[in-house]
């Protein structure tokens, strides 16, 4: 088990106290991070007392330590999962060789780019969610939002640690840039499109945490396989925190669906106008939000055919999620058929790994859909929620900009333009959802558009005062 020196300014299990240069570099970065949190983190909630989980070690007891604190006092630490003895590279051309404890020179710039791209998403999501606290549907939800925010902050620390510890001056410059880009900024936007989308309502937050944090899970799982051992260990630990973010998404959407079904029953109708008049969100509108955030998140896996993915895999930098579940770990002989608008194309499997990842991601996304549809079915309704086709509304890859319906069928461009507002939230849908966003901060009370959760956090009651506002 790793031990942590709590006396340290930066809680860690990476023996920071014995690396003065690295410690000083991080101590120099820390006030910049806190300044960023102050300017770009949850607005107007710095004085709030929040019931939060803090990682104080990586073992089963220590990673989920609960207590009430103000967010700027959160102890953002650096934690790596315990090292596996004699760990060997599990895939690619160097399979079976010892993993790397340092960055091999020839992979330096690619690994740095991969780490920076992952690191960029963490503060980006905090910026996107910055104003949501003002319209929380309950204190329980407000606390969950803040929990996600502080943990995304810690994930930024995790990536900055790797940059500082293994990439020298370039890494330190990248760490500063991670605080200089901002979500939606016209001049210095975040790297990936999804992380520049505005997020101004809680239905979007739940879809984001369901779909986009799940992309995060898949990225972290593929880095957990990496031959660069410090990256693997960092990401393995991040995954334990990430699970809660997806939990917030899945249960959030469940609670919206549950509330809508209650209203449908009370009114004896599935007429969206009447459901809306009652202050709940009709299922077709929920579907549009799912289609919007799912299609946006699908682009995060990159192009269907990619030489970058081939190079990252062959070299050992980035594996497939759950690499051990596959038979072939080298993939020099394998190929895959990829559907493009020009027809099916057989490409070397190494070049199709983004698509392999996207497919397993979509399977994982189905789990929540099944649960929600069971609720709808049990309530006696025909309506079913679905995932859009992976070709729908893509901006990256062979289907980018193609007029395709949610089933993946190509249609005329003008039909696409005309029908798009039936598939993703229209201006008026967004205006309606926004009209529901009023904050509810009485302990245990819920906004009218969402059912209460089945249980509270860490065995506490649902009506516990999870946040004290001052
Ligand atoms: Fe994260
Ligand atoms: Fe996350």
Identify which of 98, 78, 101, 74 has the alpha carbon closest to the alpha carbon of residue 2. 78
Q: 468 in helix, strand or coil?
A: strand
Question: How many angstroms is it from 232 CA to the middle of ligand 1?
Answer: 15
Question: How many angstroms is it from 228 CA to the middle of ligand 1?
Answer: 19
Q: What is the structure's pLDDT at 212? A: 97
The yes-or-no verdict on residue 58 having pLDDT over 90 is no
pLDDT in tens, 200-241: 999 999 999 999 999 999 999 999 999 999 999 999 999 999
With 0-12 / 13-18 / 19 or more C-beta atoms within 10 angstroms meaning exposed / middle / buried, residue 383 is middle
Q: What is the CA 8 to chain-centroid distance, rounded? A: 29
Question: How many angstroms is it from 369 CA to the middle of ligand 1?
Answer: 23
The yes-or-no verdict on residue 1 having pLDDT over 80 is no
Question: How many angstroms is it from 239 CA to the middle of ligand 2?
Answer: 9
Question: How many angstroms is it from 235 CA to the middle of ligand 2?
Answer: 12
CA distances to 23, 112, 171 from 168, in Å: 13, 11, 5
Assign 56 a pLDDT band (cuts: 50, 70, 90): confident
Q: What is the structure's pLDDT at 268? A: 97
Q: Are 130 and 200 in contact (CB under 8 A)?
A: no
Q: How many CB atoms lie within 10 A of CB 17?
A: 13
For residues 442 and 465, what is the distance between their CA atoms, to the nearest angstrom? 8
Question: How many angstroms is it from 273 CA to the middle of ligand 1?
Answer: 37
Question: How many angstroms is it from 285 CA to the middle of ligand 2?
Answer: 25
pLDDT in tens, 379-400: 999 999 999 999 999 999 999 9
Question: Minimum-distance ligand to the CA of 156?
Answer: 1
Assign 63 a pLDDT band (cuts: 50, 70, 90): confident
Question: Minimum-distance ligand to the CA of 148?
Answer: 2
Question: How many angstroms is it from 132 CA to the middle of ligand 2?
Answer: 16
Question: How many angstroms is it from 72 CA to the middle of ligand 2?
Answer: 19
Question: Minimum-distance ligand to the CA of 153?
Answer: 1
Q: What is the structure's pLDDT at 8? A: 59
Question: Minimum-distance ligand to the CA of 214?
Answer: 2
Quote the Cα angle for 205-208-212, to 5°. Answer: 155
pLDDT in tens, 133-169: 999 999 999 999 999 999 999 999 999 999 999 999 9
Question: How many angstroms is it from 126 CA to the middle of ligand 2?
Answer: 10
Q: What is the structure's pLDDT at 37? A: 97
Question: Minimum-distance ligand to the CA of 244?
Answer: 2
The yes-or-no verdict on residue 197 having pLDDT over 60 is yes
Q: What is the structure's pLDDT at 209? A: 98
Percent of the chain with pLDDT over 90: 92
pLDDT in tens, 90-113: 999 999 999 999 999 999 999 999
Question: How many angstroms is it from 206 CA to the middle of ligand 1?
Answer: 15
pLDDT in tens, 247-259: 999 999 999 999 9
Q: What is the structure's pLDDT at 3? A: 44
pLDDT in tens, 400-448: 999 999 999 999 999 999 999 999 999 999 999 999 999 999 999 999 9
Question: Minimum-distance ligand to the CA of 213?
Answer: 2
pLDDT in tens, 285-317: 999 999 999 999 999 999 999 999 999 999 999
Question: Minimum-distance ligand to the CA of 245?
Answer: 2
The yes-or-no verdict on residue 4 having pLDDT over 70 is no
The yes-or-no verdict on residue 39 having pLDDT over 90 is yes
Quote the Cα angle for 424-427-430, to 5°. Answer: 75
Question: How many angstroms is it from 151 CA to the middle of ligand 1?
Answer: 7
The yes-or-no verdict on residue 59 having pLDDT over 90 is no
For residues 225 and 241, what is the distance between their CA atoms, to the nearest angstrom? 18
């Amino acid at each position: 088990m790793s031990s942590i020196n709590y006396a340290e300014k930066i809680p860690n299990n990476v023996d920071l106290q014995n690396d003065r240069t690295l410690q000083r570099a991080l101590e120099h970065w820390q006030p910049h991070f806190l300044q960023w949190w102050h300017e770009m983190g949850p607005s107007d909630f710095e004085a709030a007392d929040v019931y939060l989980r803090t990682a104080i070690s990586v073992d089963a007891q220590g990673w989920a330590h609960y207590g009430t604190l103000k967010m700027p006092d959160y102890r953002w630490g650096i934690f790596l999962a315990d090292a596996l003895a004699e760990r060997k590279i599990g895939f690619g051309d160097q399979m079976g060789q010892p993993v790397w404890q340092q960055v091999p020179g020839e992979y330096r710039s690619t690994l740095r780019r991969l780490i920076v791209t992952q690191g960029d998403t963490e503060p980006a999501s905090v910026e996107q969610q910055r104003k949501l606290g003002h319209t929380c549907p309950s204190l329980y939800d407000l606390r969950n939002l803040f929990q996600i925010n502080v943990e995304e902050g810690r994930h930024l620390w995790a990536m900055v640690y790797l940059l500082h510890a293994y990439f020298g001056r370039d890494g330190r410059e990248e760490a500063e840039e991670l605080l200089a880009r901002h979500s939606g900024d016209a001049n210095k936007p975040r790297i990936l499109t999804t992380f520049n989308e505005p997020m101004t309502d809680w239905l979007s937050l739940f879809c984001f945490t369901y779909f986009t944090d799940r992309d995060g899970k898949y990225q972290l799982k593929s880095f957990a396989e990496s031959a660069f051992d410090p990256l693997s260990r960092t990401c393995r630990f991040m995954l334990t925190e990430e699970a809660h973010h997806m939990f917030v998404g899945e249960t959030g959407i469940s609670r919206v669906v549950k509330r809508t079904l209650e209203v449908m029953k009370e009114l004896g109708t599935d007429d969206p106008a009447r459901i809306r008049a009652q202050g709940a969100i009709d299922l077709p509108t929920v579907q549009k939000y799912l289609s919007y955030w799912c299609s946006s998140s699908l682009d995060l896996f990159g192009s269907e055919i990619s030489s970058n993915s081939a190079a990252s895999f062959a070299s050992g930098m980035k594996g497939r999620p759950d690499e051990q579940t596959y038979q072939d770990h080298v993939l020099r002989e394998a190929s895959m058929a990829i559907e493009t608008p020009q027809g099916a194309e057989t490409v070397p499997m190494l070049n199709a790994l983004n698509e392999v990842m996207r497919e397993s991601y979509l399977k994982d996304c189905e789990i929540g859909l099944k649960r929600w549809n069971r609720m709808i079915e049990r309530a006696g309704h025909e309506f079913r929620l679905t995932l859009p086709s992976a070709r729908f509304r893509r901006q990256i890859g062979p289907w980018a900009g193609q007029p395709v319906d949610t089933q993946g069928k190509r249609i005329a461009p003008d039909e696409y333009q005309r029908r798009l507002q039936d598939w993703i939230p229209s201006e008026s849908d967004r205006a309606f959802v926004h009209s529901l966003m009023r904050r509810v901060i009485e302990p245990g009370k819920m906004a009218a558009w969402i059912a209460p959760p089945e249980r509270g956090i860490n065995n506490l009651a649902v009506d516990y005062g999870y946040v004290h506002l001052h």
